[in-house]
Amino acid sequence: MDAVADEMKLLEYAVHQLPPLAVKQLIAHQVCVRCIFRLFNIHEGIYALICPTTLYAIIEKATEVEAATTESSQKSEVKSSICSVCLGVMQFSYRDQKDMLVEKDHAGDFAMTVAESVKEKYHEITSFTLEVSLPTLITENESVILSYMKKKYASEVWFQEKFSFEQIITVKDALKLSITHSLETLLGVKSSVSDFRIRLTYEHVDATSAENKTGKKQYNKRIKSGSNGFVKCNNEAMQSGDVSDSNFQMKKVGQPCHMTLTCSTEPVYIGGRYLKLSRNVSQTRWIIDDERKGDASVEELIGENILPVCKGDGYKFHAAGREDIDVRMLGSGRPFLIEIQNACRLPSEASIKEMEKKINSLESNLIRVKHLKILGSQGWSLMREGEAEKQKQYAALVWISRSISDADLEIVSSFKDLKVLQRTPIRVLHRRSPLDREKIIHWMKIEKIGGSSQYFLLHLCTHAGTYIKEFVHGDLGRTHPSIGSILGCRAEILQLDVTDVKMDILNE
C-alpha cells in the first residue's frame, strides 16, 4: 500500500506541473487523460492502473480545469467519450470479435481479459512476447495534436523547458508497458524474446476509410518513427507549425477500435523414419478431379495421429524425397518431419513413444514409423539439403526381352559412379520443367531369380533424385544410358522398392 501511495503522490506532483490552459484545450479536443499524461511525458506507469474518473479528478484538481458539467455527468462523459488520439486503446475500450463493446477501468482488468483468453487454449508456455498492431489514424491524429501544440505554445516557457517531442512514448509502447507486468503475474512467466507471441490487433473503420480515400498513409508526411518506440515529428512540419486553429479538425470518433487477440508459436517439428508397406498408398494426399487416388497417404496416417497430441492448428508433412504410389519404402525407412503449426502442447518423450505405438498398431497395416523424436527447426533445413545430396538404394524386379546371361551380370556390376543423363520423364512432363539432369549410379548388381531366365532383381545405389523406372527402360531414349541400352534389349520394371535412404539427421 505504501508503494502505491508513494506512486500516487508522484503522479499528483507530476500533474501539478502541467499547464492548465493546454490541458483544458486537449480535453476539449477529446484527448483522454492517459494520453494527456503520455503527451506531457509523465512516465509514472501508475496512471494505467487507475480508473479514468479518478485520473480526471487528479488532473482537474492539479490544473484547476473548470468543470462545465455536474460530477455524475462528468463521470459518464469520461467513461463514454472515445479518445480522438488513441481511439480507445489507452482507455482499454474496444469492440471484440462479436462486435460487443468491452470497457475496462484500468490496465489490470484488461490484462486479466488477455490472460484468460491465452490460458483457455495454451497451458504450457515458458515465456511470451507481446505484439501490438494499431491503425495508422492514431499516429496521424497524434501528429496533428503535436503540431497544434507547437504552434499554440512554442513561445511558452514551460514548452521550451519541459516539452520534448522526441521523448513522447507511443501508444503502442505505452500499452505494452501498461499491461506487461500484469500479464507476467497472471500467466506466471516472463516477457522476453520468445517463440510464443501474444498479438493484439486494433482496427478502426474510420482509419480504414481514410486510407482507402487517400490511397496512402498521410502520416508519413508529418512524422517518422524513432528508435525505442518514441515519436519524432517531421522537422518541416514542426518548424512551420502549419496547423492553425481552423485546421485543427480531427474527425470525431464515435466507436473504439475492434481488437482481435491471437496467439502463435513457432512450429514444433517431430521427425523420424517411415516405412510404406503398400503399393497403393501415396506419400501425400493425391486427389485428381475430386477423386482420391490410393487407399490413404503417409502424410495423413502420420499427421492425423500426431496433431491431436500437440493440440495444434494444423500440420505440414516434409520428407527426404518421395516414392511413387506403387513403390514401397522398406529397409531403414525414409526420413520425414511433421511440422505442427501453433502447437498448444509440447509432447513429452512418453507421449512421443505413444504416438509411434499408435501409428504402428493401425489396423490398416499400411505404414510403420520409427525413431520419432522432437527436432529443432534446423532439422528441416538439414533434411532438405540431404534430399538433394544423399544416396538412396533400390531393389527392382526387372523383365528383359531375352534370357539373362552371366556376362550380363558382370557387365552391370562393373559400372561404378556411372553418369546418366535424364531428360524430364514423359510421365511427369505435365508437372515438371523439361530439363536435362545428370545423375550418378554409384553401383549396381543383378540377383538371379531361380526358375526364370528373363526376370531378375536389380539392386542399385544412386544419387538422390534419379528416376529409377526410366533408368531401366530408357523412356524412349530420354534417359541414357539405361539398363535396356547397356544390355542391348528391351527392359521393363515390374516392381520397385526403396531399401535405404542415407541421411545423418535421422540415422538410427
Query: Which candidate, 443, 456, 438, 454, places its Cα nearest to that of 412?
Result: 443
Measure the CA–CA gap between 469 and 394, rounded to whole angstroms: 11
Q: Give me the numbers of helices (H) and strands (E) for the chain, helices first please.
A: 17, 22
- Give the distance, in angstroms, between the CA of residue 500 and the centroid of all CA atoms in the same chain: 34
Bridge-based pairing state of the strands 296-297 and 281-282: parallel
Q: Which three cell numbers stand for residue 323?
A: 516414392
Active site residues: 324
- The DSSP H or E segment spanning 482 is none
At a CB cut-off of 8 Å and minimum separation 6, what does 405 contact? none
Residues 6+ apart with CB under 8 A from 336: 271, 272, 273, 274, 298, 302, 317, 318, 319, 320
Helix axes 52-63, 71-80, angle to 10 degrees: 120
408-442 burial: b if 16+ Cβ within 10 Å, else e: beeebeebeebebebbbeeeeeeeeeeeeeebebb
Per 3-state DSSP, the chain is made up of helix, strand and coil in percentages (nearest 5) of 40, 25, 35
User: Rounded to the nearest 10 degrees, how much is the dihedral formed by the CA atoms of 91, 92, 94, 97?
Assistant: 170
- Would you give the distance in Å from CA 60 to the centre of its chain? 46
Q: Which residues make Cβ contacts (< 8 Å) with residue 333, sequence separation at least 6?
A: 272, 273, 274, 275, 368, 369, 370, 501
* Amino acid residing at 291: E
List, in order, residues 6 or more apart from 483 with CB less than 8 Å away.
Answer: 398, 400, 412, 458, 471, 472, 473, 474, 491
